[in-house]
Amino acid sequence: MGLMTAAVALPFLMAALCAALAGRLGRATGVLAALAFVPALLLASRTGGETLSETTRWVPDLGLNLVFRGDGFSLMFAVLIGVIGTLASLYSVTYLSDRERFGRFYPYLLAFGGSMLGLVLSDNLAALFAFWEMTSVTSFLLIGLWHTRSSARDGAVKAFLISALGGVALLAAVAMLGLAGGSAQLSQLDLDAVRASPLFVPALLLTVLAAATKSAQLPFHLWLPTAMEAPTPVSAFLHSATMVKAGVLLVAKFGLIFSVSPLWSGLLVPLGLATMVWGAWLALRQNDLKALLAYSTVSQLGLLVSLYGVADAEGRFAATTHLLNHAAFKAALFFVVGIIDHETGTRDVRRLSGLRRALPVTFVVAVLAALSMAGLPPLGGFLSKELFYETMWHQGPLFLAVAVAGGALTFAYSARLLRVFTGELSAPKVPHEAGAGLTVPAALLAGAALLMGLWPALTETLTRTAQEALAFASYGGHIRWWHGVTPALLGTLVTWALGAALVWQAPAAQRLQERLTPRWNANLSYVLILTLLNTLASRVTARTQGLALPDQLRLSLGASALIGGYAVWQAPQVLPRLGTVPLEALPVAALLVAGAVGVALSRNRLTAVVLTGLTGFGSAVSFLLMRAPDLALTQLLVETVTVILFLLVFRFLPGVRDLPRTRGRLGLDLLLSAAAAAGATLLVMASLRFLAPPISPYYLLNSYKEGGGKNVVNVILVDFRGFDTLGEITVVAVVALAVGALVRLGRPGQAPPEVDAEQLAAPAPRRKP
């Protein structure tokens, strides 16, 4: 097993192990869980080298193989998942409450980790989709971890519904790509064929939809903030650093296929920028620190989508740099918010201030991470923001202006986040600095954010690991502090000025925001759509199911008639010739038809039963005609018992009653009966041709030799197919028990009435061979 396969498989195995051991290990399960990411971390040693490839055969005939392809970008992403996964596992060891069900939390977390690693490494399109869906499912489980809270349930359902919508779109998209490109593997698609195919544009649109739902782009951003119901380590891992970037990953990887179309960047760049600005605007309005970070994540994802959506070397280079920076500072900030929540018991920005003295380490971490988010030197965020502005300037001044607006809002909400540390100390309970279990993971990430700023060459090396995979080898730009006086630098200065103004005039900005609050928002429309769907589903169910028996049957029979009718229409009909009809067949036919017509017309129950008996005896005579004396005998006996049974039951039923159908229903019923009659006739006629030689000569030859009987039918029943007969007898016995129980039920505490269970249960008369 190769290292990549191990990196994907180990988290799943460890998930099972954690589930088994959690009862004994308690919170220490998290340390075990962190070990699951070791192979992913080891992948770091393979970056920069040749593209790795590992194949596990599964269903080769269907093109279903687990193919992992470790190009630079995938490996970089996998290592990122490994790092954040390890830190989140370790952080949660201290963070979670003692009452937490560790046997659920860690398996879910590891299953997610494995799915996410599979998603980034998978080269097979079907596996890519499967891992994509698995991340949705595990995310659902993690958001709903505290399922006793209705908000957690709502958040989980909302996240799942929206990502499932994207999942369906992705399934269609990869199916189209596989069809058009002639391969089940992403790296082996025939790009020219895909681009020439009529499926190109639909696949493109579906991919955009999938990416937008997963990466919380407008108008699907609504699921991410409610996903913050998950425990904070989960938010840091899934909903900021990794899973929400699956959509970004899709844009990055599939951009190589779709970027030839102007539609691709024409859709993604405005979408990303709009999400960036709107997310930042909403983030500035939040009082819950975690909600603020959630909207900030929406905004930053918009930035990444717009950069990858530009789909040139420059954009991909800038996006990859920012992707790394964002993972570092955003996960660090989530950890910081977790610490604040843990130590003060609230995340409300209005109830917290002056935490810098009580939480000095956390304060330093928060400042570093927030400054990186705001794009200030000397942090990594500054460098990637410069690259972002540069790229947007090349798209046009308007794009730069929007980007700057988003940047200024980002600056402002970063400052708002830091407000909890300034001023006089105020918190619901006296905070103490958290233990090393919480601060060290946060500090490591903040340190990474700082290092990426102080050492641009390192950042560039990291970014360039992805260059082959994302085809920005041609991009000659470098990450530097000083590029000269460029539009990007001017943009940065304007950002700082605007951001500082927003911070300075914070109350005024807040009033403005409240005045501009739209009456309508995405969340309301989500609730509306869901309510409408539920109502529609209930109505359809009420109309089509659970009707009174005849109506339900009419519906089913009507559907069968339509489907069967279509089949008959399509099938070539062979009408066999009448052949010779022996004279004795005619009275039999008359008997059968007379019984049938008589029953249909009879108004009287007794008449109906007697006429049914007529048909029964008619069919017994038919059996004789068909050279089946055993059947004729059995049918005669059964018919007799049945008629007696009916007459017994009539003792308890009401007198003669006429329950006519309405005229419309009568017509419909006649139509359905005619259709059934025609269908049965046509089916019999069509079945007259043999498709294979009959197997019955075997029974004729061996009946006496092996069964010791000369009546072949009886030998088949009691010898060759003896077990079938045993089953049949069992059915009869079960029916006897059921009949007995039903009859007893009618008169509780009394002797069974005259309908005698033993009589009903009398085994069918059968001649022995």
Partner 1 sequence: MEPLFALLIGVLVGTGVFLLLSRTIIRVVLGLAFIAYGVNLAILTVAGLRPDAPPLLTLKGPYVDPLPQALVLTAIVIGFATTALLLTVALRAYQVAGHDDVEAFGDSLARDPDSPDGLHADASHLGPDEPTEAPTSTRRAPRRPA
Residue 214 contacts residue 304 (beta carbons within 8 Å) = no
Nearer to partner 1, 65 or 703 (CB): 703
Q: Give residues 191-250 in contact with partner 1 (rule: CB under 8 A).
A: 222, 225-226, 228, 231
Rounded to a whole number of angstroms, the minimum distance from the CB of residue 111 to partner 1 is 23
What single-letter amino acid sits at 19?
Answer: A
* Shortest Å, Cβ 331 to partner 1: 19
Residues between 290 and 329 with contacts to partner 1, criterion CB under 8 A? 291, 294-295
Q: How far is the CB of 295 from partner 1 (least distance, A)?
A: 7
* Residue 164 CA from chain centroid, whole number: 4
C-beta closer to partner 1: residue 473 or 674 = 674
**Is residue 673 a contact residue for partner 1 (CB under 8 A)?**
yes
Which 152-181 residues touch partner 1, going by CB under 8 A? 154, 157-158
Q: How many Å apart are CA 639 and CA 217, to the nearest integer?
A: 71
Q: How many CB atoms lie within 10 A of CB 49?
A: 11
CB of 732 to partner 1, least distance (A): 5
Question: Residue 478 or residue 710: which is nearer to partner 1 going by CB?
Answer: 710
Q: How far is the CB of 134 from partner 1 (least distance, A)?
A: 24
Place of tokens 């069992």: 730
User: Under a CB-based contact definition with an 8 Å cutoff, are residues 276 and 406 in contact?
Assistant: yes
Contact at 8 Å (CB) between 166 and 192?
Answer: no
- φ/ψ of 124, rounded to 5, equals -75, 135
Largest interatomic CA distance in the chain: 112
Q: Residue 396 or residue 746: which is nearer to partner 1 going by CB?
A: 746
Count of residues touching partner 1 (by CB under 8 A): 151
Taking the C-alpha atoms of residue 213 and residue 207, their distance in angstroms, rounded to an integer, is 10
What residues numbered 112-141 form the site for partner 1, per CB under 8 A? none
Q: Which of residues 582-611 bind partner 1 (CB under 8 A)?
A: 582, 585, 589, 592-593, 596-597, 599-600, 605, 608-609
The position carrying tokens 């109502």 is 535
Our measurement of the distance from residue 329's CA atom to the centroid of its chain's CA atoms, rounded to an integer in Å, reads 30
Binding mask 473-512 for partner 1 (x = CB under 8 A): ----------------------------------------
Cα torsion through 106, 108, 111, 116, rounded to 10: -110
Q: Which of 745, 748, 750, 751 touches partner 1 (CB under 8 A)? A: 745
User: In angstroms, what is the minimal distance from the CB of 270 to partner 1?
Assistant: 21
Span from 47-55, 111-119, 394-402, 651-659 in contact with partner 1 (CB under 8 A): 651-659
Binding mask 340-359 for partner 1 (x = CB under 8 A): -xx--xxxx-xx--------
Alpha helices in 474-521 (DSSP H): 487-504, 506-515
DSSP per-residue letters across 602-613: --SHHHHHHHHH
Residues pairing with 56 in the sheet: 66
φ/ψ (deg, to 5) at 54: -135, 135
- In 26-149, where does DSSP find H-type helix? 29-35, 38-42, 72-95, 102-121, 125-143
What is the number of alpha carbons within 13 Å of residue 433 lying toward its C-beta?
14
Q: What is the number of other CB atoms lying within 10 angstroms of the CB of residue 618?
A: 22
Chain-centroid distance, C-alpha 314: 35
Q: Tokens 């990869």 belong to which residue?
A: 174
Footprint on residues 685-704 left by partner 1 (CB under 8 A): 685, 687-688, 694-696, 699-700, 703-704
672 binds partner 1 (CB under 8 A): yes
Say how far apart CA 23 and CA 515 lie, in whole Å: 52
Q: Is 188 in the site for partner 1 (CB under 8 A)?
A: no
Residues 524-543 that bind partner 1 (CB under 8 A): 526-527, 530-531, 534-535, 538-539, 541-543
Label the pairing between strands 64-70 and 52-59. antiparallel
Handedness of CA 216, 218, 223, 227 (dihedral sign): positive
CB nearer to partner 1: pick between 264 and 617: 617
Q: How far is the CB of 676 from partner 1 (least distance, A)?
A: 4
> Stretches 42-50, 112-120, 319-327, 640-648: which one binds partner 1 (CB under 8 A)?
640-648
Among 652, 722, 726, 754, binds partner 1 (CB under 8 A): 652
395 interacts with partner 1 by CB under 8 A: no
642 lies in the site for partner 1, by CB under 8 A: yes
**Alpha helices in 182-261, H assignment, sequence order:** 191-196, 200-214, 223-226, 232-236, 245-258
Smallest gap from Cβ 100 to partner 1, in A, equals 9
* Integer Cα distance of 242 and 224 in angstroms: 13
Closer of 125 and 561 to partner 1 (Cβ)? 561
The Cα 370–Cα 340 span in angstroms is 15
Among 24, 57, 515, 657, which residue interacts with partner 1 (rule: CB under 8 A)? 657
Q: Does residue 576 belong to the site contacting partner 1 (CB under 8 A)?
A: yes
Shortest distance, position 147 Cβ to partner 1, whole Å: 13
- Of 6-14, 208-216, 319-327, 666-674, which segment contacts partner 1 by CB under 8 A? 666-674
CB 762, min distance to partner 1, A:
9
Least CB distance to partner 1 at residue 281 (A): 10
- In angstroms, what is the minimal distance from the CB of 483 to partner 1? 37
Position among 31, 571, 677, 726 found at the interface with partner 1 (CB under 8 A): 677
Contact predicate 68/5, CB 8 Å: yes
Is position 514 an interface residue for partner 1 (rule: CB under 8 A)?
Answer: yes
Q: Which of residues 547-566 bind partner 1 (CB under 8 A)?
A: 547-551, 553-554, 557
Place of tokens 């059915």: 731
Q: Min. distance of Cβ 559 from partner 1 in angstroms?
A: 14
Identify the residue among 13, 20, 151, 505 touching partner 1 (CB under 8 A).
Answer: 151
Query: Which tokens in the block code for residue 362?
Result: 């956390």
- Count other C-beta atoms under 10 Å from residue 459's C-beta: 21
Q: Which of 98, 484, 572, 723 binds partner 1 (CB under 8 A)?
A: 98
**Residue 419 is a binding residue for partner 1 (CB under 8 A):** no
**SS3 state at 54:** strand
Sign of CA dihedral 116, 118, 123, 124: negative
Which positions from 264 through 283 interact with partner 1, judged by CB under 8 A?
282
Residue with Cβ nearer partner 1 (481 or 652) = 652
Instruction: Assess contact for 169 and 204: CB atoms under 8 A.
Output: no
In the complex, least distance from residue 276 CB atom to partner 1, rounded to whole angstroms:
16
* Shortest distance (Å) from residue 554 CB to partner 1: 6
Strand partners, 122: 68
For 672, other C-beta atoms within 10 Å of its C-beta total 16
- The correct pick among 59, 61, 62, 99 for binding partner 1 (CB under 8 A) is 99
Chain residues 697-736 in contact with partner 1, contact rule CB under 8 A? 699-700, 703-704, 710-713, 716-717, 721, 724-725, 728, 731-732, 735
Of 20 and 742, nearer to partner 1 (C-beta) is 742
Task: State which residue, 201 or 547, has the beta carbon closest to partner 1.
Answer: 547
435 touching partner 1, by CB under 8 A? no
Nearer to partner 1, 493 or 597 (CB): 597
Q: Which residues, including other chains, have CB under 8 Å from residue 741's CB and lie 6 or more apart?
A: none
Query: Residue 629 Cβ, how far from partner 1 at the closest point, in Å?
Result: 6
Amino acid at 705: K
Binding to partner 1 (CB under 8 A) within 37-96 occurs at 95
* Contact between residue 189 and residue 182 where contact means Cβ atoms under 8 Å apart: yes
